[in-house]
Amino acid sequence: MEEKEPGFPANWDEICYEIMKNILIAKFSVPELKDKLKATGDAVLIEGNNHHDNRWGNCICDRSKNKEGQNWLGKILMEVRDTL
């Protein structure tokens, strides 16, 4: 069993996606941020990074560049954008 970081609920892996989605819904309720997200149109949004995060994004470093990330952040941003 994987040990969790202190302060995180035991079911974090099951609830983190919805928590992030709720945070981003609140963030993009700010009119100027809402307009910026809407301005991306129908573009595919990818949280590219080089710090080996293939859950929330897609790491492009040499070690991970051949692994497809889950890009949860990009997917949530696109979900939120679709509701605006």
Measured distance CA(68)–CA(58) in Å, rounded: 6
Going 65 to 77 to 51 to 11, the CA torsion angle's sign is negative
Residue 38 lies in a domain: yes
Residue 20 lies in a domain: yes
Residue 7 lies in a domain: no
Its pTM stands at 0.87
The reported pLDDT for the residue numbered 4 is: 62
The reported pLDDT for the residue numbered 44 is: 98
The reported pLDDT for the residue numbered 2 is: 55
The reported pLDDT for the residue numbered 73 is: 98
Residue 19 lies in a domain: yes
The reported pLDDT for the residue numbered 37 is: 98
Measured distance CA(81)–CA(84) in Å, rounded: 5
Q: Which residues of the chain have pLDDT under 50?
A: 1
The domain of 78 spans 12-83
Residue 1 lies in a domain: no
The reported pLDDT for the residue numbered 5 is: 72
